[in-house]
Chains A and B, each alone.
Chain A
Amino acid sequence: MTSSLLIRGRGVVKGRAEGEALVADATLSFWGEVDPITGTVIAAGHPLEGESLRGKVLVIRSTKGSSGTPMILNLARLEGNAPVAFVNLEVDSLAALGCIVNGIPMITGLEQDPFAVIRTGDRVEVDADLGFLRVTPRVA
């Protein structure tokens, strides 16, 4: 059995969720860079290009760009393709709005660098009510 790691942070949008981590030390715009029908990242050359966001705990620096982010997140959720939680270094007001409207928890201000300690595929439990993540490394 692998041991899990507990990381404290600040719950920005409350709620709890669990899923597989999808990690990139990068920014992402939902409008224009995410296809809500397939749930995949379509931005050419983006480190997450081709990856599905469906059911994932999305660990990125922040969202950026278009004000369409909450709308695309909403459409992706209606199609069952939205991430289950956001773990961000910085709070982009549009991601925060999208999370509030769609009931998706968001956490920031982690006491450890998420890009150093969370890898794509790790199991992550997000508790934005109490403000922590529990990371269980995937079995290599």
Chain B
Amino acid sequence: MLTILFDGIAYGMLLFILAVGLSVTMGLMNFINLAHGAFAMVGGYLTVVLTQQYGVPFMWCLPIAFAGAGLLGAVLERTLYRPMYKKPHLDQVLFSIGLAFMAVAATDYFMGSQQQIMQLPDWLRGRTELFDGERYALGMGHYRLFIIAVCAALTVGLQYILAKTRFGSRLRASVDDARVAAGLGINVNLVFAATFAVGSGLAGLGGALGAEVLGLDPTFPLKFMVYFLIVVAVGGTSSITGPLLAALLLGIADVAGKYYVPKLGAFIVYSLMLVILLWRPQGLFVRKGGK
């Protein structure tokens, strides 16, 4: 039972890192970006190619995946995304689905449609068993432990940036009301470009970390789009604690559901989301005073 909880937490942490960028950009510019998974896929493929063909150590690949996806995010934000902010949601949905389709087909063309295999360093393989009892056995895969550690560090870092730094307060001000923030002299466009780039970078890092756990093939952006959107819709877009708790809930519910009632499959997750959204249409965690 503890093992399931542990796996669920690892899965949830991963989902959080993948989706947090989406949540912040959605809250900031009210932009529905269905192509977010494409950045995660870029990070994942960068890591696979670098480790397998150029022999770059896995630990070096993670920052490279972050930087690569972040750079791509920054470029696309400047060129393609910016004109879309003012458009209606329907246009944004179509635009970003179009981008996701292109990413899927292009990856298929260049990399092939097969599932990619991630080569982990030796020290990340293996498992540790704790509490060898009947009921409370806890088996921790080292890699999952590593994921939890990295994601927890990132979460703390993000929370610190958001809550304590000047950039964080600018970002929060822009999310709450972009017009007033701009009136106070905050360069909202720059804040947004930086946030978009970091969010895409985090997605890339998540993709690199998650390639082993989630599987990596060209349909990745469409397959996990639903999960990212669930995290954002359930967690709300006004803080990062909301998406964090939503991601953990989703991860644990998904792993536990698949383990205990495999016949129902993803049914549990979707139903849970539906019930939560009917109960709180704006997400579980809404900060008062925001727009």
Do A and B belong to a common assembly? Answer: no
Spell out B's residues near A (CB within 8 Å).
none
Spell out A's residues near B (CB within 8 Å).
none
